[in-house]
Structure 1
């Protein structure tokens, strides 16, 4: 994990336990700090609004949820209407189980993928639970971390309940998320995720969510996927690790330390996992910002991990499970009301 001076300090709480407003700059995005993946997020509901991270509370009335702002509370739909933005019911619900929970990540994606629908940027984010699901390492992302995949329909996820968030986005924010997840390129598919229970709401909803086309990696040492210790889960029976520990583990069990050092020029010592994350992250951003290819070693390292991980992957995918349930959305239909 980053040193204490680089980590985010969670927004302070008042004596009554209510979280106070913060800024997106108080939060660390995994896209820039890969060892923080998936990144911290507020413990409860919040509203990302033009760089501010405003607490949202359950009102216990017909208003549903209220925004805490300037020492007072305002029903969230009234707050949004006052600045000419769509209400909760006019937005698309999207499940966030990994980095998309993080306010700084949302801000970065809105900037990097050219959000343009409104002058103000807003994404209400509500806390939720999802049963019989987990978040596990799928593969090595080019930004330098083992990226998470939603695991459902698997013996490894049975009886597990995870903390998730539901983003309420407008159409252009949905486009931003789709582009950032590589939906057009086929990296992820969009599906309805059944059984999500939002805190303060009645019943279950089926928000959209992103499921990987790749198969989940199964560690040869444990003969199981690896969960994220940085994501709250109850009932989890598989090993769980923090991002650097996960990279260390993969380098060892896949016997890729020599390969990673040869291709990157990094030293083969106890700093390798952290230095490799920085190496990959830097090359990803170079390619993103310039449009040029990264140096050859970057792609060769990713290929080496991909090939080695494919030798010990789960046979089934969440993608397949949701397709059998009829929950996969054909490309483009996520923008339709359903």
Structure 2
């Protein structure tokens, strides 16, 4: 079983430093490995304690994954020693959640200018058809994102954007569409051209990058939407998986309908239980699959607070991976299951034992 590690095993110099080949959470100069696990409410397990990632974060007094935003880390931001530097120099607080991802059609390439701080050449992001690289997704809290803004020189050196180019896939198979990332915001952070080509960081070392010159590319080959203001964790994803009273035609569909752009039948791994209160309880995990609908919301940040209130304290909103890899919100049951019967395949809301709540 994987064990915790310290910053010393992943030095920050030379830029971009080294990074673990697995997902991890990091705090106090120490990292704990993280693995996908369908039996956990968050979908992730922290080793070696074998504890749910959301519970591990709660034990540290910090928000769960649902309160965090996925930001692509393709340079030094996945380096544990860099995370400690951010704490010491820029006031980063709380655990950093860094999940590995396969990036298709995207590449970390060397930028045209050098860093004033140490003269090293930084990385920038570029579109790269046919290329696959391993990078990381930092699930950042709003406060952590503000620290990253300062570190990256948002609005000066880099822009905060949603990237529509390529495909980003987490180790649990979840596809992060329109991932947040910091991309070139000035000529010095545009990709450098050497012999007319962009140069991938994986092909040339920091030392070797010194001979590349400072000729910036005209564009980085990315399709992006720049973020203005502060993004919210509720902004992503736009999808919601519903399996009970919120399904089309069910008793609470009227709450959903004004916010829904399209609907589609699907299923989700897990088990449904009869609460005896007129609505079902979902627990994540392996299984044949819970039938339901995936809804595309016109404005998640408007709809989700209303649904949080409707679902109440016995449910918790989490992000889950659908069978086709899309990530969606859903509500899982967190109260006790004592006395509840498992609902059979093909159940109908009318089979639930008692009448719906008033």
Same structural fold, with TM-score higher than 0.5 when normalized by the shorter chain: yes
**Which residue of the partner structure matches residue 334 of structure 1?**
231
The residue correspondences of 1:81-230 to structure 2 (distance < 5 A) are 81-115=58-92, 121-138=94-111, 139-142=113-116, 143-152=118-127, 157-184=128-155, 186-194=156-164, 195-213=167-185, 214=187, 215-219=190-194, 222-229=195-202
Distance 1:19 1:109 in 2: 25
Distance in 1 of aligned mates of 2:107 and 2:176: 18
Distance 2:109 2:130 in 1: 15
Structure-1 separation of matches of 2:158 and 2:37? 36
Residue 241 (structure 1) aligned with residue 204 (structure 2): yes
Alignment-derived partner of residue 262 in structure 1: none
Q: What is the Cα deviation at residue 227 of structure 1?
A: 1.2
**Aligned residue in 2 for 1:40:** 18
Cα distance in structure 2, aligned partners of 1:75 and 1:196: 23
- 1:257-278 deviation line (CA, Å, top 9, x unaligned): xxxxxxxxxxxxxxxxxxxxxx
Q: CA RMSD in A?
A: 1.9
Match status 1:61 vs 2:39: yes
Using the alignment, how far apart are the partners of 1:25 and 1:314 within structure 2?
A: 36
Deviations 1:154-177 (A, max 9, x none): xxx110011110011111111111
Structure 1 residues 322, 87: CA separation in 2 closer, same or farther (over 3 Å shift)? same
Instruction: Tell me, yes or no, if the aligned pair for 2:11 and 2:17 is still in contact at 8 Å.
Output: yes
Distance in 1 between residues matched to 2:199 and 2:109, nearest whole Å: 5
The answer (yes or no) to whether the contact 1:136–1:151 under 8 Å persists in 2 is yes
CA distance in 1, matches of 2:219, 2:51: 46
* Displacement after TM superposition at 1:58 (Å): 1.5
Question: TM-score, normalized by length of structure 1?
Answer: 0.63
CA shift for structure 1 position 201:
3.8
Q: Residue in 2 aligned with 1:234? A: none
Q: How far did residue 182 of structure 1 move?
A: 0.5
1:203 deviates by 3.3
1:20 aligns with 2:3: yes
Matched residue of 1:132: which SS?
Answer: strand
Q: 5 Å matches for 1:261-276?
A: none
Relative contact order, higher structure (CA 8 A, sep 6+): 1
Aligned residues: 227
| Displacement of 1:19 | 3.3
CA contact (8 A) 1:190 1:334 kept: no
Bigger radius of gyration: 2
Once residues 148 and 168 of structure 2 are traced to their aligned partners in structure 1, the CA distance between those partners, rounded to angstroms, is 19
Measured in 2, the distance between the counterparts of 1:206 and 1:133 equals 13
Contact 1:110 1:176 in 2 (8 A): no
Deviations 1:50-98 (A, max 9, x none): 22110111224243111114xx310101111122210011112111001
Separation in structure 2 between the aligned mates of residue 228 and residue 23 of structure 1, nearest angstrom: 25
User: Between Structure 1 and Structure 2, which shows a larger proportion of strand residues?
Assistant: 2
Q: Does 1:49 align with 2:12?
A: no
8 Å CA contact 1:129–1:164 kept in 2: the answer is yes
Give me the whole-angstrom Cα distance separating, in 2, the residues matched to 1:40 and 1:134.
Answer: 17
Structure whose residues are more often helix by fraction:
1
Which residues of structure 2 form unaligned runs of 5+? 236-358
Query: Which string of whole-angstrom CA distances, capped at 9 and with x for unpartnered residues, describes residues 30-54 of structure 1?
Result: xxx3xx2211111011010222110
Shift of the 105–62 alpha-carbon distance from structure 1 to 2, 3 Å rule, reads: same
The DSSP-based 3-state class of the residue aligned with 2:97 is strand
